[in-house]
Structure 1
Amino acid sequence: MAPGTAALELFLDEVQTFTAEFEQELRSSDQRVLETAAGTLSLKRPNRFLWSYEAPIEQLVIADGEQLWMYDVDLAQVTVTPLEPGDAASPAMLLSGEQNVRDSFDIVDDFALDGQDWVRLSPKPGGADFRSVLIGFRDGLPAELELVDGLDQTTSIVFSEIAVNTGLSDSVFEFEPPAGVDVIGGEG
Structure 2
Amino acid sequence: MRILVYLFFIINICFSFDLKSINNIKADFVQIITTSDNNKIEYSGNSVTTKGYKSYYKYTKPFEKEVFIDEKQTIVYEPNLNQAIIFTSGIGLVDILNNAKQDGDKIISHANNITFFIYLDSNDMPKKIEYTDTLDNKNEIILSNIKINTNIDDSIFVFNAPKGTDIIYSKSNTF
Instruction: Give the shorter-chain TM-score range.
Output: 0.7 to 0.9
Decide whether the 8 Å contact of 2:11 with 2:126 is kept in 1.
no
Decide whether the 8 Å contact of 2:100 with 2:107 is kept in 1.
no
Q: How many residues are aligned here?
A: 158
Partner of 2:46: 40
Decide whether the 8 Å contact of 2:28 with 2:146 is kept in 1.
yes
Post-superposition offset of 1:77:
0.7
Change (3 A) 1:167 1:6: closer
Regions of 4+ moved over 6 Å: none
The match for 2:139 among 131, 155, 159 is: 155
- SS for the counterpart of 2:81 is coil
- What code does the residue aligned with 1:131 have? I
Post-superposition offset of 1:63:
1.5
- What code does the residue aligned with 2:108 have? R
TM-score, normalised via structure 1 length = 0.72
Q: Could you say which structure has the higher strand fraction?
A: 1
Partner of 1:22: 29
- What code does the residue aligned with 1:135 have? I
Partners of 1:120 and 1:48 in 2: CA distance: 23
TM-score, normalised via structure 2 length = 0.76
Unmatched segments (≥5 aa) in structure 2: 1-9, 171-175
The match for 2:107 among 106, 112, 119 is: 119
Partner of 1:115: none
The match for 1:135 among 85, 101, 118 is: 118
Partners of 1:25 and 1:46 in 2: CA distance: 27
Partners of 2:52 and 2:152 in 1: CA distance: 12
Partners of 1:56 and 1:111 in 2: CA distance: 34
Post-superposition offset of 1:110:
0.9
Partners of 2:119 and 2:151 in 1: CA distance: 24
- SS for the counterpart of 1:179 is coil
Partners of 1:72 and 1:169 in 2: CA distance: 22
Unmatched segments (≥5 aa) in structure 1: 89-93, 113-117
Partners of 1:183 and 1:51 in 2: CA distance: 19
Partner of 1:91: none
